[in-house]
Amino acid sequence: MVHVDVGSAADWAQAVSSTVVLFFIYQQMKQTNTQMIQNDDQERYRRSWEFVKLYREELREFEKRLEKLDCDFNTQDYAPDTPEFCTYVQNFFRPRMHLYVLLNQMVMRQEVDERMLFGYLEEEFNKFVEIGIKHYGLVEFKQEIGSKINLLLTLWGSQIKAPDFSLEATTGQNITLSSLAGSYVVLVFYPANDSPTCNKQLNEFSLNTTDLLETGARVFGVNTAPVSKSRSYCTRQRLEFPILSDPGGITAKKYKAFLGWLPFIKRTVVIIDPTGKICFHERGTPAPKNVIECIRNSKMAIQGS
């Protein structure tokens, strides 16, 4: 006769019972979670359309004032001090500022569907950015406005287009920004060859050239010296990237990297992404590792969009 341990059997039965109960709880939780996700998506969609409604109501009166102007208004056709441009600043740019700040906060809290809103607001948002940059200047716009709508700028990839340039390089080539389309471009603006700070900064970038190339970046130093002088400087410093000659600092002025009151370039590093948009602009001597990190983050944002 087989002896059965009643206590062990009871424990086994209890374990089986608990497993079954846990399985049903898990299935219920899974179903509930799926329902919650669906409900969250529906709620985000509802809030998105509520924002669109608010957006249109807030702007109705301002849009009436703009009807007298050409509906195909192009910011490139007007100087910042013209009456037409000032009208757009007052009736297009300023009324939208607080709305985009609010939307940036809602996107940050995942309260709205930013992809749906992007499809609806893309054209107006890009015009808002273009007018803001022309009104404030790129650097001030990014500091005063861009910091408040940073998530929208990242997710929506607004058209902060980098100015084109055509500069002679120490390699003998003529380099244009348009010829570099499809690559990340790093411009290291610096005041003078052979100054201790410039030497240190450029050598740090030179030592990191391999890592920068692995990100797909093209690196260029930029200063006002003639090509012949920069070519000998490159040789002495054994730099792994070319230097562009910017006589008079014309390109530096376009990139807000010129002192203005003195004929000198301001130490500035700029990154331009493959679509021609500025994704990094920092004065001083930002470390190459920060530049590399910015490029990698930009790639992730583009791939995830």
- The mean predicted confidence, pLDDT, of the chain is 82
**Ranges 60-69, 154-163, 177-186, most confident:** 177-186
Segment 187-229, tens digit of pLDDT: 999 999 999 999 999 999 999 988 998 888 999 999 999 999 9
Segment 1-14, tens digit of pLDDT: 545 454 555 555 55
Q: Estimate to the nearest angstrom the gap between the alpha carbon of 5 and the chain centroid.
A: 69
Rg (Cα) of the chain, in Å, rounded? 28
Q: CB neighbours of 69 closer than 8 A, spacing ≥ 6? A: 84, 87, 88
Q: Domain-by-domain residue ranges, the chain?
A: 40-156, 166-304
**Ranges 65-74, 103-112, 242-251, most confident:** 242-251
Amino acid letter, residue 8: S
Judged against a pLDDT cut of 80, whether residue 81 lies above it is answered with yes
Q: Hey, which residues does 268 pair with through a beta bridge? A: 189, 283
Q: Estimate to the nearest angstrom the gap between the alpha carbon of 224 and the chain centroid.
A: 28
| pLDDT band, very low/low/confident/very high, at 44 (cuts 50, 70, 90) | confident
- Residue 142 tokens read as 């990014």
166-304 CATH pick, 3.20.20.450, 3.40.30.10, 3.40.50.300, 3.40.50.720: 3.40.30.10
Residue 30: is it exposed, middle or buried by C-beta count within 10 angstroms (0-12/13-18/19+)? exposed
Segment 262-289, tens digit of pLDDT: 678 989 999 998 988 877 877 888 899 9
Segment 129-145, tens digit of pLDDT: 889 888 888 778 888 88
Q: What is the pLDDT of residue 134?
A: 85
Amino acid letter, residue 301: A
Helix, strand, coil % in the chain, rounded to nearest 5: 60, 10, 25
Q: What is the pLDDT of residue 19?
A: 60
Give the pTM: 0.54
Judged against a pLDDT cut of 80, whether residue 17 lies above it is answered with no
Angle between helices 94-108 and 114-136 (to 10 degrees): 140
79 vs 239 pLDDT, higher one: 239
241 vs 111 pLDDT, higher one: 241
As a whole number, mean pLDDT of residues 18-47 equals 60
Angle between helices 6-66 and 94-108 (to 10 degrees): 170
Element spanning 201, H or E: helix 196-207
